[in-house]
Amino acid sequence: MKFTFAHNNLNVYDLEKSLAFYKEALGLEVVRTKEASDGSFTLKYLGDGTTPHQLELTWIKDMERPYNLGDNEIHIAFQVEDFNAAYEFHKKMGCICYENPGMGIYFISDPDGYWLEIVPAK
């Protein structure tokens, strides 16, 4: 029996704001949408156009406040060919939330406060 990655999920408070962020910051595009028949939730699957892995953004209709992430240290990592250009781009966007020059990485924060690790391509 072999398991392979399919997708990661993040619940988002403002779906349109999150979609705009992921498109601008990381170039992710919607590749599939699922709507609940009763309108209670919407799922948007984002892809990078290169790998088969997808990021599922879940919007829940009745959520009336931003999500409390607490001490959650789960993150998703993205690699990029031109690390320095990506760093400058994210710096201009104002979304860098943590830098670790010793490890050669940094993190950006999405509209819900999820951290996304940016690493240089190997």
Annotated catalytic sites, by residue? 117
Give the global pTM: 0.90
Q: Is there a domain that residue 25 lies in?
A: yes
In order along its 122 residues, the chain shows pLDDT tens digits of 787 788 999 999 999 999 999 999 999 999 999 999 999 999 999 999 999 999 999 999 999 999 998 877 788 999 999 999 999 999 999 999 999 999 999 999 999 999 999 999 98
What span, in angstroms and rounded, lies between the C-alpha atoms of 111 and 15? 10
Ordered strands of the 96-100 beta sheet: 76-80, 115-120, 105-109, 96-100
Q: Is there a domain that residue 45 lies in?
A: yes
Burial class, 122, CB count within 10 angstroms (exposed 0-12 / middle 13-18 / buried 19+): exposed
Which CA distances in Å does 62 have to 41, 44, 76, 104? 9, 17, 26, 40
- Report the 10 Å Cβ neighbour count for 120: 14
Whichever domain contains 109, its CATH number is 3.10.180.10
Range of the domain at 102: 7-63+73-120
Q: Is there a domain that residue 1 lies in?
A: no
Which 3 state secondary structure label does DSSP give 92?
Answer: helix
Q: Is there a domain that residue 31 lies in?
A: yes
